[in-house]
Amino acid sequence: MRLPPAILVNTEEVLREILRFTGPADGTLSRYFRDHPRLGSRERGVVAEAVYGLLRNKSVYTNFSESGIGSPMRRLSLLGLADAVGVDALGGLTDDETAWLQRVMEIDRTHLPLMMKANLPEWLWTKLVERFGEEDALALAMSLNTPAPLDLRVNTIKGDRDTVITTLAQAPIIAEPTPYSSTGLRVRKKPSIQNLPLFKDGTIEVQDEGSQLLAQLVGAKRGEMVADFCAGAGGKTLALGALMRNTGRLYAFDISEKRLAKLKPRMARSGLSNVHPVVIAHEKDAKIKRLAGKLDRVLVDAPCSGLGTLRRNPDVKWRQTLVGVAELNVKQASILASAARMVKPGGRLVYATCSILDEENEGIVQAFLAEHADYVLVPASQVLAEQKVDLEMGDYLKLYPHLHQTDGFFAAIMERKKAPPKVVPEEVASEAVAAEAEED
């Protein structure tokens, strides 16, 4: 069954707006679909798939679109749609357009230049090659350009993984245990889960396995005081709350009231009552200062380039710039330093990003440790072993889609040194003993 010609018009309209890169692609698509309510779910799905396919393969398709007839935006839209549903499924094409599309889709892409195959901007491709070498950089790039599977986290407050697998199978949805997270499930296809009873009652949440592991690295325990410093919509907050078995006190800090508002219905579903969302003006807010030296554990999931999430957000690579990353570095360092003040002696601080760039990861951590002698790095390998996670790492957690089938994540675990016991001078101690003897 061929798609109606209007689909091409819709794709061209929304693509023109998205390629201005003035905001996230998912937000632009959502707004477009709201403004065009006559588009059915199938049509919306095809348009979205075409747009995301083109964003993933923009370098290649921009090159291909230099041939053919019609406007450049129409040619790009045709390539995206052909990538999504195949040439034969497209209606309203001229004979010349059909012939051109068929020729283009048959091109052997293995012979394309490496940077074009990687479908990355030049600055990012150069950085990855410098760090990993061409072969590994291409493997990473190709994996980042592949759509991610659907990962779920089982809320252990409400259920266990085996029972959830059995219940999902009745839907029928086939889910498999994730290899590293003990609460994770992976669904190869992307069924709608919003109407499932398991989702509505908070037994499952959508969360990438790598994000689940970040929560585990915090190691939050029953009865502790913990903070998720950049909580956003609260995916990691909810994971931490479950690890704490709904005890203690868990702060969810964020500068966006809108983002934290999205956490509240999720909290209600989850059954957690130990979570306290707090809107702050900035990382040096007085609400933060009042908690100085009082928290057992603090997670800093810092604002970052998001380049580890390209499987889900392919537009990010075209919107991000070197200047933007440098601006983020200043903010990351400031946030980490402020969050560190809340950790008590002997407490744990975890710095994390969904970036694959050294300057957002090791660079920030090493600069922090150089300026904060009261903190020491705890090897990720040690913490993973403590958490019984079968994953080989060194000093840091570094996750990549081509190696671990997760989004790209980084984490560093640091501990605040305990204050050394006070040493009483020998003469003072002798005088104190003598005074006690006289009193007796």
Contact 355, 399 (CB under 8 A): no
Q: Which of 281, 299, 380, 367 is closest to 329 using CA atoms?
A: 367
Q: Which of 282, 238, 232, 274 is closest to 257 using CA atoms?
A: 232
Please say if 230 is a catalytic residue: no
Beta-carbon contacts of residue 98 (< 8 Å; ≥ 6 apart): 87, 90
- In DSSP notation, 243-307 reads HTTT-SEEEEEES-HHHHHHHHHHHHHHT--SEEEEE-SSTT-HHHHTTTTTEEEEEEE-----G
CA dihedral 249, 254, 255, 257 (to 10 degrees): -90
Question: What is the C-alpha to C-alpha distance for residues 120 and 139, in angstroms, rounded to an integer?
Answer: 12
Question: What is the C-alpha to C-alpha distance for residues 141 and 198, in angstroms, rounded to an integer?
Answer: 35
CB-based burial of residue 359 (10 Å sphere; 0-12 exposed, 13-18 middle, 19+ buried)? middle
Q: Which of 334, 344, 408, 421 is closest to 375 using CA atoms?
A: 344
Question: What is the C-alpha to C-alpha distance for residues 44 and 182, in angstroms, rounded to an integer?
Answer: 35
Question: What is the C-alpha to C-alpha distance for residues 76 and 418, in angstroms, rounded to an integer?
Answer: 60
Question: What is the C-alpha to C-alpha distance for residues 416 and 41, in angstroms, rounded to an integer?
Answer: 52
Listed in order, strand segments (DSSP E) in 21-134 are: none
- Of the chain, the end-to-end C-alpha distance in Å amounts to 101
Range 377-384, long-range pairs (CB < 8 A, 24+ positions): 377/412, 377/413, 377/414, 378/348, 378/413, 378/414, 378/415, 379/413, 380/217, 380/411, 380/412, 380/413, 383/217, 383/219, 383/413, 384/217
- DSSP annotation of 390 reads -
- DSSP annotation of 378 reads E
Q: Which of 305, 309, 409, 304 is closest to 56 using CA atoms?
A: 309
Q: Which of 144, 198, 244, 354 is catalytic?
A: 354
Q: Which of 391, 248, 365, 196 is closest to 237 using CA atoms?
A: 248
* Measured CA angle at 36 (ends 34, 42), to 5 deg: 95
* Measured CA angle at 249 (ends 245, 252), to 5 deg: 105
Q: Which residues are catalytic?
A: 354
